[in-house]
Amino acid sequence: MREKDTAILLHIIARGKIGRSPEGDLLDRYAKRLTWPVKLTEWPDTGAGKVAEPMTPCRTVLLDERGKALPSEDFAAMLGRWRDEGVRETRFMLGAADGHSDAERANADLLLAFGPATWPHLMARAMLMEQLYRATTILAGHPYHRAG
C-alpha cells in the first residue's frame, strides 16, 4: 500500500483569515510539499465555528500555551501511531486570541505547544504546517529533517 493510501487527513481549523501575506505564502509552500492530504478551514475571529462530525476515526489536537512541547521526532511518531491505529483525520485547532475553553481542552486528544513563548496566530499556523511537513518526511525516511 502506498503512503498516500494510508495517510491521515491533516485538517487545520483556525480562527481568522490568513489571506495574502508572508505567513500565508509560507503556509502554502509547506502545504504544497506535503504528500499527506491537508485541508485548511478558517473561521471568523469571533462567533461560533462548526465543523462536521467526523465520519471516520479522528483525533483532535489543540494548539495551546498549556500544551506539551514535543520534539519533531515524537510528533512524527505520534502521527505514525495514529495512522497505524486507523485514524483517518487529525484536526489541529488554533483558537481565537483568548485561546480554547476548558471544555475544548478536556475533549482534546492532545494539547500541543510550540514552547513557552506566545506566537502570533498567523505565525503559529505556518509553524504548524512546517511541523506537519517535517513529521511526514520523518515518517517517510526523507532527509529533510536533520536530527541532532
Q: Which residue has the cell 517517510?
A: 140
Ranges assigned E (strand) in the chain: 9-15, 38-43, 58-68, 89-94, 110-112
95 is in an annotated binding site: yes
What three-state secondary structure class fits 64? strand
Question: Which amino acid appears at position 68 of this protein?
Answer: K
- Around Cβ 65, how many Cβ atoms within 10 Å? 14
Q: Tell me how far the alpha carbon of residue 6 is from its chain's centroid.
A: 18
What three-state secondary structure class fits 98? coil
Binding residues for S-adenosyl-L-methionine: 63, 95
Binding residues: 63, 95
